[in-house]
Amino acid sequence: MTTRSTTLATWAGAIASALEHRGLDSQAIFARVGLDIAQTQDPDARYLVTDMTNLWHFRKVV
C-alpha cells in the first residue's frame, strides 16, 4: 500500500493572505500550481505535500 503525505489545506489560507498582502493574486497562483484555493476554507480539506511543494517553489513570472 502506498501512503501519500498530506497537510491541512486551511493553513494554506495564511499563505494566500500573505500573498494578497504583498499585492499578488493568490487565486491565480494557487490555480497555477494546481491547488483549489476554495479548500482553504474547508476545515476537513487536505492538500498533498507534493502539491504544496509546488506552491513553495512558485516564482512570479514578470
- Per-residue pLDDT reduced to its tens digit, 26-53: 999 999 999 999 999 999 999 999 999 9
Residue spans of alpha helices (H) in the chain: 12-21, 26-32, 49-56
pLDDT value of position 1:
65
Residue 61 in this model has a pLDDT that exceeds 70 = no
Residues facing residue 8 across a β-bridge: 46
Q: Is residue 61 part of a domain?
A: no
- The reply to whether 29 falls in a domain is yes
Q: Which domain holds residue 43?
A: 6-56
> Is 12 a residue whose pLDDT tops 50?
yes
Residue 42 lies in a domain: yes
Q: Which residues lie below 8 Å from residue 9, measured CB to CB, with a gap of 6+?
A: 35, 39, 40, 42, 45, 46, 47
Average predicted confidence (pLDDT) for the chain: 91
Say how many domains are in the chain: 1
Percentage of residues of the chain with pLDDT beyond 90: 81
